[in-house]
A and B are shown apart, each in its own frame.
Chain A
């Protein structure tokens, strides 16, 4: 059901109808209020961008639209009629289609089959491949996407796969299409193709919600903009006339309570020095250094390449270029075991996936990386192990302080402490922390920051990767800002502000 031909949404009939209106949407999860009260209204044939910091609530909003979550409060209207989106299939029935960054296609079927999956045309009981190809070509043609309908989706590039995903959504004659960070995996060229497609869809009267970090894109593409901050829609306005600075100010502008008192630790010699590090297709020209006793922050948007750099430093991935010097030792062809021995350790982003063994106790998790050194002839020295575990528990303030408790019964914050503790036990010189306070409550967060402060006082060099500006600003002595695989800024403690970091993180500064 296509809308009457309008391309600017102002209504040939004179009365602006909204394709979708969300009013007063609130949603909480245990321990976290994701959305406090959000209003969002999108007209047919409008590209409406939604921007905000990491953790501002955009994803939750999207999931509500998709029918994955239902709001605790608020009202949703589609075409002026109130609706309840209780499941993803219901959302589809209302004409809402999602294009996520994580594509959900069938790699072993062709483009045409993927586009028509679930609604494949039949003729005389058999699959009408010709018509499926025709339909696909028509839809792809409408979207100006040049793809071979008979190609296997698994053989396409990510950008092409995304076009297939869009074509699939488009074939279903949608009212509203939501794009969630669509360009993070695309090349410039592919992104341009995507924008052309989106503009075409706008011309056909589809309401488009476009979520992105990339401010230039938003300025280029969108008609209207809503800024979300701390679970609220702060501002909605037309994009025309806005500058990136305006956007950043809106996204970020709030009083920064000084939650984390910063202590000074004596800063010593250079512990880690990296020159020109590169990994093909992921990051390049990365150069930085960290001194003993220093906390260096790695700021940037999700996907900027910081985790990837850390993984290379720990030997989990290899580099294609550049050098890594630990003290005066050059590290070559690193493996995790060598890295650990040399004194660099990495506390991964996702503690559930890479950090903890959920079936084991706190004690076993704490000693996992050093169990060899606590043993003699392969036999674990039980008393030594217990002592190590107990002292680590005390040092980290793990609660409850019971070494034999199963680690999965601990809260997120305490689990994180256990993961950090595991690596502390190796007596590292350099500690790479990747989002150490993600999913951790405020109290534990403060404790972890305290812990980091203690560690640098003992002479450890710390690299803190975080997507939370407040954290970086509070804790770092110096900050490197990453953008799309490069370092775009090195900021001293005085120079680092939310503005300067955000600006560099969105690529607004000359590299």
Chain B
């Protein structure tokens, strides 16, 4: 199957114009979107609306941080996010009576466990990431539903719900959490040994291995991180809504992949940054917001997202083939 990414090194020499173009494309697109949005609707540039955008961006943003790391490490994608989000939500609410706020920690642990399974399959057994995470997702979702006996879970702690939905200094809590995660993620990728090695593993697996980098462990860790972040998001969603059902996480994986790919992180691995992922999330959210304000039905948004992925990947391939030297 031509779907396994090549890990052989590519000596890509891009023309200066093409490289600059690549850097600026998404920021320019964002500016354009803002202009169009302001033009189309006077509600667009209001503080309330913009805060809305930032808030809705936050959950997807947290998941996107993890997805970005998976892509950069050459892991293609993690499709088990919906299951992990649901698991996070359900575990948090279900364990609330016993553990109180500590149930969030339990949720993250469960997420890490799921991520470990993914990591073992992809990093050590070298299974195809899409198929493996798809399988794990299905099984996990089933476990989650089995655990619930087919029903939904309600939360009991009103105080916690209020806290989670609070706005310290006028900024939604989730936004603060998102910013913290993004900043930590960025520092982790750019300033730590782990981050450096993640780039190496994605950039040229064979060379990294030959350079004594612990490649398998690193590849697995990317999946663990994503799952942990996803379950944390799930915990938040569950708490803020005070209810959790198994399908609560549907769609987040594709939103995250769209955002990350649109932001310019290559599917082949080895390049990218958290900031790019964030720009991608921002752009997609702005687009969604504009469409919502214009009363465009949900479903068209789905079409737009799918088209965006195709466009973004297609452009990436095009740039690579055009400016590159093999």
A274 at the interface (CB under 8 A from B): no
B240 at the interface (CB under 8 A from A): no
C-alpha spacing A58/B107, complex, angstroms: 64
C-alpha spacing A356/B207, complex, angstroms: 6
A360-B199, A375-B193, A379-B191 given; name 14 further pairs at CB < 8 Å: A337-B212, A337-B214, A340-B212, A352-B11, A355-B207, A356-B9, A357-B203, A357-B204, A357-B270, A358-B270, A359-B204, A359-B271, A368-B208, A372-B193
Nearest CB on A from B75, distance (A): 15
A369 pairs with B211, CB closer than 8 A: yes
Contact of A371 with B196 at beta-carbon distance under 8 Å, contacts A357-B203, A358-B12, A382-B191 already known: yes
Measured between beta carbons, the chain A residues less than 8 angstroms from B271 are 359
A316 pairs with B210, CB closer than 8 A: yes
Measured between beta carbons, the chain A residues less than 8 angstroms from B210 are 316, 336, 346, 348, 354-355
Q: What are 22 inter-chain pairs, A to B, with CB distance below 8 A?
A: A316-B210, A336-B212, A340-B212, A354-B206, A356-B207, A357-B203, A357-B208, A358-B9, A358-B10, A358-B11, A358-B203, A358-B270, A359-B203, A360-B199, A360-B203, A364-B200, A368-B208, A369-B211, A372-B193, A378-B192, A379-B192, A380-B192
Nearest CB on B from A373, distance (A): 10
Fill in one digit per residue for B189-229: 1 if any A CB lies within 8 Å of its CB, else 0: 00111101101101110111111111000000000000000
A371 pairs with B9, CB closer than 8 A: no
A409 at the interface (CB under 8 A from B): yes
Contact of A358 with B204 at beta-carbon distance under 8 Å, contacts A352-B11, A371-B196, A380-B196 already known: yes
A368 pairs with B12, CB closer than 8 A: no
Measured between beta carbons, the chain B residues less than 8 angstroms from A359 are 199, 202-204, 270-271
Nearest CB on A from B265, distance (A): 12
C-alpha spacing A364/B191, complex, angstroms: 12
Measured between beta carbons, the chain A residues less than 8 angstroms from B194 are 378
Nearest CB on B from A409, distance (A): 7
C-alpha spacing A355/B203, complex, angstroms: 12
Contact of A352 with B196 at beta-carbon distance under 8 Å, contacts A357-B204, A358-B203 already known: no
Contact of A422 with B192 at beta-carbon distance under 8 Å, contacts A353-B206, A360-B199, A360-B200 already known: no
Interface residues on B, range: 20 to 34
Nearest CB on B from A411, distance (A): 11
Fill in one digit per residue for A372-411: 1 if any B CB lies within 8 Å of its CB, else 0: 1001001110100000000000000000000000001100
B17 at the interface (CB under 8 A from A): no
C-alpha spacing A216/B210, complex, angstroms: 37
For A354, the closest partner residue in chain B by CB is B210
Nearest CB on A from B320, distance (A): 12
B191 pairs with A409, CB closer than 8 A: no
B8 at the interface (CB under 8 A from A): yes
B41 at the interface (CB under 8 A from A): no
A368 pairs with B200, CB closer than 8 A: yes
- The residue in A337, A352, A358 that gathers the most chain B C-beta atoms within 10 A of its C-beta is A358
Fill in one digit per residue for A328-347: 1 if any B CB lies within 8 Å of its CB, else 0: 00000000110010000010
Of residues 1 to 54 in B, which have CB atoms within 8 Å of A's CB atoms?
A: 8-13
C-alpha spacing A408/B13, complex, angstroms: 7
B192 pairs with A357, CB closer than 8 A: no
A364 pairs with B8, CB closer than 8 A: no
B192 pairs with A375, CB closer than 8 A: yes
Measured between beta carbons, the chain A residues less than 8 angstroms from B202 are 359
Nearest CB on B from A170, distance (A): 31
B204 pairs with A368, CB closer than 8 A: no
C-alpha spacing A379/B9, complex, angstroms: 27
Nearest CB on A from B304, distance (A): 30
- The residue in A336, A357, A409 that gathers the most chain B C-beta atoms within 10 A of its C-beta is A357
For A426, the closest partner residue in chain B by CB is B212
Partner of A378, one of B11, B12, B193, B214: B193
Nearest CB on B from A347, distance (A): 10
B203 pairs with A352, CB closer than 8 A: no
Of residues 160 to 208 in B, which have CB atoms within 8 Å of A's CB atoms?
A: 191-194, 196-197, 199-200, 202-204, 206-208
